[in-house]
């Protein structure tokens, strides 16, 4: 799914770089406050998506001596800096420009015709053309992002789009979906403001809608900041823990579990730890034949005279019992880990500690 996130980011970045240039040109010629704030909006989107792309690249680095579980969480840091920094700056710049446009409103005379590439044209048509292009590009970028997000929803079994967006474990993809949605809404707001200003002859409509575009950037910053901070605060993976409980409850040699915990490293890596107690009757029943086989193997390695030594025989028997028990315990742990990873594929590392063997009868409820 990281590939889907990357495609969505690259598509959005390409579209917004083109739109940033077009919107700034249109803003200069049309003198529209809404168009200028849309240009600022696209500039912030472009910078943000560049940050997201850097975060994706950094997160791909493998584990090393300083980062035992890889660099995945750095993606959230880049996303957080982008959301709180860039979008907050964009919101501030947009509101400042709206205020400035309002202050000088009485001193600016609207232009009915401007020279654009050697052609006399009404400013509203320049703005309308650029906004139409923006609507097409933002709509296409949004379609790519939504398609990638729906594919991730299908993989995780989610059905509600809004609920999945809020609870998603891939904030990069969430950021692109949200930014493209807000970008499309921003274009519609700019169209509305410019159209109302042109038909009523009151440029205040343009300024009001430009302020609304700036506030959209602020709301985006708040939401994306909250999403990324959630993954930088040792959040538990409830799905992985539920998978572990299901596995333990169906395993014939595990009596109960304790101290089950998990932490999401990134959207593709979860670490899970737990303690278990083994079921005595299930463990012991299958060990005797293995213990006997190991005891015969150890005795066969000894010279003939030592095989009849009682103390040597007791040592071989004890060692055989310990070996068989350890091997069976390791097998149980491997089975549990493999089953959990099969049910919850995001689980990257499982640490299971055997607390001991529970003696029957046990009337307590399994688990805690």
pLDDT single digits (tens) 158-184: 777 777 777 776 777 787 888 888 888
pLDDT of residue 366: 47
Q: 54-68, 198-212, 341-355: which has the minimum mean pLDDT? A: 54-68
Q: Which of 205, 254, 249, 251 is nearest to 102 (CA)?
A: 205
Give, in order, the Cα–Cα distances in Å from 253 to each of 74, 256, 330.
40, 10, 12
- Alpha-carbon Rg for the chain, nearest whole angstrom, is 32
Q: What is the spatial distance between Cα 60 and Cα 57, in angstroms, rounded to a whole number?
A: 5
Instruction: Examine the pLDDT at 273 and tell me if it is beyond 90.
Output: yes
Length of the chain: 368
- Per residue in 324-348, pLDDT (tens digit) is 888 888 988 999 999 999 998 888 8
Structure tokens at 307: 């095989």
Q: Decide which of 197 and 166 is more confident.
A: 197
pLDDT at 363: 45
Indicate the pLDDT class of residue 364, thresholds 50, 70 and 90.
very low
In angstroms, the CA 176 to CA 122 distance is 34
Give the pLDDT mean for 205-225: 85
Percentage, residues of the chain above pLDDT 70: 89
Q: Does the pLDDT at position 365 exceed 70?
A: no
Confidence label for 368 from pLDDT (cuts 50, 70 and 90) = very low
Spell out the domains of the chain, with CATH numbers in brackets: 2-230 (1.20.1510.10), 238-358 (3.30.70.1350)
Mean of the per-residue pLDDT values of the chain: 81
Least confident of 10-19, 269-278, 294-303: 294-303
Given a cut of 90, whether residue 243 has pLDDT beyond it is yes
Summarised one tens digit per residue, pLDDT across range 77-95 is: 777 777 777 677 778 888 8
């Amino acid at each position: 799914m990281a590939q889907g996130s990357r495609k969505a980011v690259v598509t959005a970045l390409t579209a917004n770089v083109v739109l940033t240039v077009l919107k700034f040109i249109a803003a200069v010629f049309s003198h529209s406050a809404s168009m200028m704030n849309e240009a600022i909006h696209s500039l912030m989107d472009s910078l943000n998506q560049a940050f997201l792309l850097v975060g994706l690249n950094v997160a791909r680095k493998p584990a090393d001596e300083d980062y035992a579980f890889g660099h995945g969480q750095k993606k959230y840091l880049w996303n957080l800096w982008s959301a709180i920094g860039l979008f907050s700056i964009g919101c501030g710049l947009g509101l400042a420009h709206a205020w400035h446009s309002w202050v000088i409103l009485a001193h600016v005379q609207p232009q009915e015709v401007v020279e654009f590439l050697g052609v006399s044209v009404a400013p509203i048509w320049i703005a309308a053309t650029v906004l139409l292009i923006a609507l097409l590009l933002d709509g296409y970028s949004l379609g790519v992002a939504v398609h990638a997000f729906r594919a991730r929803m299908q993989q995780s079994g989610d059905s509600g789009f809004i609920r999945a967006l809020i609870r998603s474990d891939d904030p990069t993809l969430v950021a692109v979906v949200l930014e493209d949605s807000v970008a499309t809404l921003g274009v519609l707001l700019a169209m509305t403001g410019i159209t109302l200003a042109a038909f009523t002859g009151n440029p205040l409509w343009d300024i009001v809608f430009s302020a609304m575009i700036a506030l959209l950037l602020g709301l985006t910053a708040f939401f994306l900041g909250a999403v990324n901070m959630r993954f930088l605060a040792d959040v538990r993976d409830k799905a992985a823990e539920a998978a572990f409980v299901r596995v333990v409850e169906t395993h014939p040699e595990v009596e109960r579990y304790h101290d089950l915990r998990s932490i999401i490293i990134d959207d593709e890596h979860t670490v899970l730890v737990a303690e278990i107690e083994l079921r005595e009757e299930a463990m012991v029943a299958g060990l005797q034949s293995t213990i006997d086989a190991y005891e015969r193997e150890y005795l066969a390695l000894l010279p003939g005279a030592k095989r009849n030594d009682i103390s040597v025989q007791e040592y071989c028997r004890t060692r055989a019992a310990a070996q068989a028990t350890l091997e069976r315990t390791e097998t149980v742990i491997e089975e549990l880990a493999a089953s959990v990873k099969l049910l919850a594929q995001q689980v990257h590392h499982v640490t299971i500690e055997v607390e001991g063997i529970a003696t029957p009868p046990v009337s307590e409820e399994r688990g805690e």
